[in-house]
A and B are shown apart, each in its own frame.
Chain A
């Protein structure tokens, strides 16, 4: 199994829909120079669900600190935001 300590990560955002969710989150990522590679987003029965693929390679923050900042932002805008290393999903779902 490869544990290349890649700097890509998967973010999930779940909660009630509101104005400016993507703006607030992408602003935080922009300030840390974290690149957004892909976004999928849907609203089911007013529940906002977004999955983002991000790249931290050029960023000025590591995943642990980013996770804390995202948690704080999540509390502020009443959403559950979490960030996970891509390695984890590759390990579990790819042979």
Chain B
């Protein structure tokens, strides 16, 4: 029998602490849509996505109503389009992006990911065309997200691609300048990109994945924050234990939604992504958890240590709660999407360099950071190179989603609304790294022994 305490604790999580399931993402393989004719491929892609994901939104909404668990986003991820489109002989893949956009609209989902290329060791012809098509594709679509994997611990860092992505990000910003460079919010570069990530902008359906799967991304910073309020003054062992217990409970909610969705859609369950995904709402912030642990501001000395503990405890608690764990799994530290981060960034209490240090121990990377619009592309490439090195050399996933907002400079901010939030423009060290970036080539894979 469930006790009254348990009933009230659970209800409080939903009603007061913003507990929700951030996303149910259906991964769909498009390998059987490859065709020498782009128009034929696109019609196959449209048919397949709309057939497989036809009931996704309805089923999620039903679950949401029956269980009173808010499911914030419904999304689709597909096989990286660079692989699917390569056989077509087209010189621009934006028609594929438009097809994805149309299919996503028809299904009623919030986003579709997979306008992607995997170039961590080198480019195929398809990869080159896809990457060149990114700015135009993101400008002409609303729901399509794009990602490029530039590095991996097994292969090293493709510095030619790092250089190119600095330019692609600037071009994307220019082509979506009328909407504060929103195209860049839908574009992310990775080291060690996971093939089963349900979160945007980086979701794609890896080639090692099954035909169709359901992946679920959880949320719940508000629940962790509230549970830590009850252990103020106690030692860090107790803090870690408290986080683990809450992470377990949050993850069980995600597991329940995943199991029911998988059953009703007749699609196998892939993974739960154990991520603390914040939102710009008060009471739903990862930064505020770090402050609850004992920092005046997120960004103060001690932030990296507190985040490391938080990230690890979330994984320890969550792993026990789910049968399959994957994706990015950990604490997200986006700037514009986190109420506490927006606050400290606006007050100059956190720098990009501190965020970079934090990415060494968190689950993603430099995320949703707005920088001055006149930041040169090679500086963005330098930022990407550093982040790729952290991922590659530490055997973890890292990413960069940076937005050079045209016409804006430090002191300004941009409002994207919804989950994307508000981004204060952050100061960037503009000492040149052009000679380094222009060298190009590959940084070899790190040695995997003699770890110091």
Point out residues on A near B: beta carbons under 8 Å. 1, 3, 5, 10, 12, 38, 40, 51, 53, 63-64, 67, 82, 84-93
Contact = CB atoms under 8 A, between A and B. Distances in A.
Contacts of B141: none
Interface in B55-78: 62, 65-69
Given A51-B7, A93-B249, A1 B2 contact: no
A61 to B, nearest CB: 13
A88 to B, nearest CB: 5
A10 B252 contact: no
Contacts of B7: 10, 12, 51, 84, 89
Contacts of A90: 2
Contacts of A38: 1
B307 to A, nearest CB: 26
A3 B403 CA distance: 42
A63 B63 CA distance: 11
A85 B252 contact: no
B127 interface: no
Contacts of B69: 88
26 contacts: A1-B252, A1-B255, A1-B259, A1-B323, A3-B256, A12-B7, A12-B8, A12-B11, A38-B1, A40-B4, A51-B7, A53-B2, A64-B65, A84-B7, A84-B67, A86-B2, A87-B67, A87-B256, A88-B10, A88-B68, A89-B2, A89-B7, A91-B253, A91-B255, A92-B10, A93-B10
Residue of B65, B256, B323 ringed by the most chain A CB atoms within 10 A:
B256
Contacts of B6: 89, 92-93
Contacts of A51: 4, 7-8
Contacts of A3: 256, 259-260, 263
Residue of B2, B4, B62, B259 ringed by the most chain A CB atoms within 10 A:
B2
A53 B256 CA distance: 20
Nearest to B13: A92
A85 B2 contact: no
Residue of A1, A10, A90 ringed by the most chain B CB atoms within 10 A:
A1
A82 B256 CA distance: 20
Contacts of B253: 88, 91-92
A82 B11 contact: yes
Given A12-B11, A53-B1, A92-B249, 20 more contacts: A1-B252, A1-B256, A1-B323, A3-B256, A3-B260, A5-B260, A12-B8, A53-B2, A85-B66, A85-B67, A88-B10, A88-B67, A88-B68, A88-B256, A89-B6, A91-B252, A91-B253, A92-B6, A92-B252, A93-B2
